[in-house]
């Protein structure tokens, strides 16, 4: 009886852990977003195969920025990598058993990175050599692909003898991604340039990697502050929104940064070097309800970088607000509606204009980007009461930002509040008159 009870408890714990592992990687605003890694065996060689590996980022607003992706796996047998094009293994490993032809890598658990731009043409293939930077699908599908080719030996040279690699890992560039086991799928078909011939891979397998902000960081990486034309109070980011573990190493002023950076090697720093703030976030998004018109209202958005080490290239900002179904005009930013569900249209993605403000520079006088948007009012739902004019959620580069508590939002002065202010002013005036004529 006791053993059965422990067995049931173990099964229940396993099921809960399995459900939670999938739940933390689920993004309600991008429910189908993932990175798919496809291996196409293009040809056989005497002791193995030549494969084209294609990494496609199907995430609408989360990209891989510098220093780029790192892909790892474990060979099922005693495979080696004879050569690579468009990428390289970071470690060669012990290849002492080979006397003539030395493999590119003999590691049981190889780690592969993209090549940098500008490598010789004989080391390149299509969609390679971008330093591991991969765009988001929502911004530019053509930039959301990265590829490389590898020749694998000691693996067998037929569909029956090849064993799929396992234990895939993906850093993009940091933690956060969880990858599935490789799965055999229908071989990929290829159409010739003239469209008159169709070929296919010898065999194909897929690996799917999903992102979880919980796995990436225990604290948020951005926060939101708020203000409005109808209230003089500015609602700041919550204190220590992104954790205060870097409080002792922050920089108090821009003039101090030269002495700090001069002593550091930016390639070895793990923790961000932040400007000292009460929220200690690398990124702050400010939402300001700016103007009110008869049929429209106007919002100003500002994104400020407090990180002295990072320029955010191809940044994205995702906003969830019910009035985004009536966006009339957006200034200085690109805008794209995100409609993950047919029943709702309350989410949109903002991103920079190429060669204008698509790079959010490091902390300093130029470390911010701004935009304004005009939204048309729906008189059946529009109101300034109870914080309706402020966003429900904001994401920067795919990570959800820390929001102020609803009771801290800038409030709309109601009639009772206005009467209280008027009564206080009248009492002060009467007191002044009495003191004058006393």
Taking only the tens place, the pLDDT of each residue in 185-228 is 999 999 999 999 999 999 999 999 999 999 999 999 999 999 99
Rounded to whole angstroms, what are the CA distances from 121 to 55, 105, 116, 152? 21, 22, 12, 22
- Residue 202 burial by Cβ neighbours in a 10 Å radius (0-12, 13-18, 19+): middle
Which pLDDT score is estimated for 257? 63
Which pLDDT score is estimated for 25? 61
Q: What is the CATH number of domain 217-248+273-408?
A: 2.60.40.290
| Phi and psi, residue 96, nearest 5° | -65, -20
- Residue 198 burial by Cβ neighbours in a 10 Å radius (0-12, 13-18, 19+): exposed
Which pLDDT score is estimated for 253? 75
Which pLDDT score is estimated for 416? 39
**Residue 271: which pLDDT band, with cuts at 50, 70 and 90?**
low
Which residues, including other chains, have CB under 8 Å from residue 426's CB and lie 6 or more apart? none
Rounded to whole angstroms, what are the CA distances from 99 to 45, 81, 96, 228? 19, 15, 7, 73
Query: Could you tell me what percent of the chain has a pLDDT over 70?
Result: 84
Task: Say whether pLDDT at 2 is over 50.
Answer: no
Task: Say whether pLDDT at 423 is over 70.
Answer: no
Domain 34-215 and domain 217-248+273-408 have a common topology: yes
Task: Say whether pLDDT at 268 is over 60.
Answer: no
Task: Say whether pLDDT at 432 is over 90.
Answer: no
Task: Say whether pLDDT at 256 is over 60.
Answer: yes
Which pLDDT score is estimated for 184? 96
**Residue 249: which pLDDT band, with cuts at 50, 70 and 90?**
confident
**Residue 412: which pLDDT band, with cuts at 50, 70 and 90?**
confident
Which tens digits make up the pLDDT trace of 56-101? 999 999 999 999 999 999 999 999 999 999 999 999 999 999 998 9
Which pLDDT score is estimated for 15? 43
Task: Say whether pLDDT at 10 is over 90.
Answer: no
Which pLDDT score is estimated for 224? 97
Candidate CATH numbers 3.40.50.261, 2.60.200.20, 2.60.40.290, 2.60.40.10; the one for domain 34-215: 2.60.40.290
HEC-encoded secondary structure of the chain: CHHHHHHHHHHHHHHHHHHHHHHCCCCCCCCCCCEEEEEEEEEEECCEEEEEEEEEECCCCCCECCCCCEEEEECCCCCEEEEEECEEECCCCCCCCCCCCCCCECCCCCEEEECCCCCCHHHCCCCCCCCCCECCCCCCHHHCEEEEEEEEECCCCCCCCCCCCEEEEEECCCCCEEECCCEEECCCEEECCCCCCEEECCEEEEEEEEECHHHHCCCCCEEEEEEECCEEEEECCCCCCCCCCCHHHCECCHHHHHHHHCCCCCCCCCCCCEECCCCCCCEEEEEEEEEECCCEEEEEEEEEECECCCCEECCEEEEECHHHHHEEEEECEEEEEECCCCCCCCEEEEEECCCCCCEECCCCCCCEEEEEEEEECCCCCCCCHHHCCCCCEEEECCEECECCCHHHCCCCCCHHHHHHHHHHHHHHHHHHHHHHHC
Task: Say whether pLDDT at 312 is over 70.
Answer: yes
In the β-sheet with 87-89, what is the strand arrangement from edge to edge?
Answer: 87-89, 111-114, 70-74, 166-171
Task: Say whether pLDDT at 331 is over 50.
Answer: yes
Domain boundaries, the chain: 34-215, 217-248+273-408
Compute the average pLDDT of residues 336-354: 90
Task: Say whether pLDDT at 8 is over 60.
Answer: no
Which pLDDT score is estimated for 169? 98
Which pLDDT score is estimated for 6? 47
> Residue 67 and residue 64: Cα distance in Å, rounded?
8
**Residue 269: which pLDDT band, with cuts at 50, 70 and 90?**
very low
Q: In the structure encoding, which two tokens stand for residue 402, read together?
A: 């820390």
- Mean pLDDT value across the chain: 87
Look at the chain and count its residues: 438
Query: Could you tell me what percent of the chain has a pLDDT over 90?
Result: 76
Which pLDDT score is estimated for 264? 46
**Residue 404: which pLDDT band, with cuts at 50, 70 and 90?**
very high
Locus of tokens 């702050």: 284
Task: Say whether pLDDT at 414 is over 90.
Answer: no
Rounded to whole angstroms, what are the CA distances from 155 to 44, 63, 80, 277? 10, 33, 8, 55
Task: Say whether pLDDT at 424 is over 90.
Answer: no
> Residue 303 and residue 298: Cα distance in Å, rounded?
17
């Amino acid at each position: 009886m006791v053993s059965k009870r422990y067995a049931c408890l173990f099964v229940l714990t396993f099921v809960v852990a399995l459900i939670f592992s999938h739940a933390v990687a689920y993004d309600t605003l991008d429910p189908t977003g993932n990175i798919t890694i496809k291996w196409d065996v293009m040809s056989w060689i005497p002791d193995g195969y030549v494969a084209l590996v294609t990494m496609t980022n199907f995430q609408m607003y989360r990209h891989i920025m510098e220093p780029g992706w790192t892909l790892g796996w474990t060979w099922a047998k005693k495979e080696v990598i004879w050569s690579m094009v468009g990428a390289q293994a970071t470690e060669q490993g012990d290849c002492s058993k080979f006397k003539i032809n030395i493999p590119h890598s003999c590691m049981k658990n190889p780690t592969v990175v993209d090549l940098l731009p500008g490598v010789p043409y004989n080391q390149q293939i299509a969609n390679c050599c971008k330093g591991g930077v991969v765009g988001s699908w929502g911004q530019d599908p053509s930039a959301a692909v990265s590829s490389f080719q590898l020749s694998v030996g000691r693996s067998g040279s037929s569909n029956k003898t090849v064993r799929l690699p396992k234990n895939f890992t993906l850093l993009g560039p940091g933690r956060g991604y969880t990858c599935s086991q490789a799965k055999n799928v229908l071989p990929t078909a290829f159409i010739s340039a003239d469209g008159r011939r169709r070929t296919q891979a010898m065999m194909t397998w897929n690996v799917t990697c999903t992102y979880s902000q919980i796995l990436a960081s225990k604290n948020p990486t951005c926060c939101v502050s708020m203000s409005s034309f109808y209230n003089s109070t500015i609602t700041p980011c919550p204190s220590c929104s992104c954790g205060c573990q870097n409080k002792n190493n922050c920089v108090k002023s821009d003039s101090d940064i030269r002495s700090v950076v001069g002593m550091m090697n930016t390639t070895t720093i793990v923790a961000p070097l932040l400007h000292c703030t009460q929220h200690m976030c690398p990124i702050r998004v400010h939402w300001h309800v700016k103007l009110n018109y008869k049929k429209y209202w106007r919002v100003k958005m500002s994104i400020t970088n407090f990180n002295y080490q990072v320029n955010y290239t191809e940044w994205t900002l995702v906003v969830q607000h019910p009035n985004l179904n009536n966006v009339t005009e957006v200034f200085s930013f690109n805008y794209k509606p995100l409609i993950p569900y047919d029943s709702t249209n309350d989410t949109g993605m903002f991103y920079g204009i190429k060669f204008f403000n698509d790079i959010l520079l490091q902390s300093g006088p130029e470390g911010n980007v701004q935009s304004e948007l005009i939204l048309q009012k729906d008189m059946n739902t529009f109101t300034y009461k109870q914080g309706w004019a402020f966003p429900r959620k904001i994401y920067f580069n795919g990570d959800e930002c820390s929001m102020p508590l609803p009771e801290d939002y800038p409030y709309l002065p109601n009639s009772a509040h206005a009467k209280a202010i008027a009564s206080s002013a009248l009492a002060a005036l009467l007191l002044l008159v009495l003191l004058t004529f006393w």
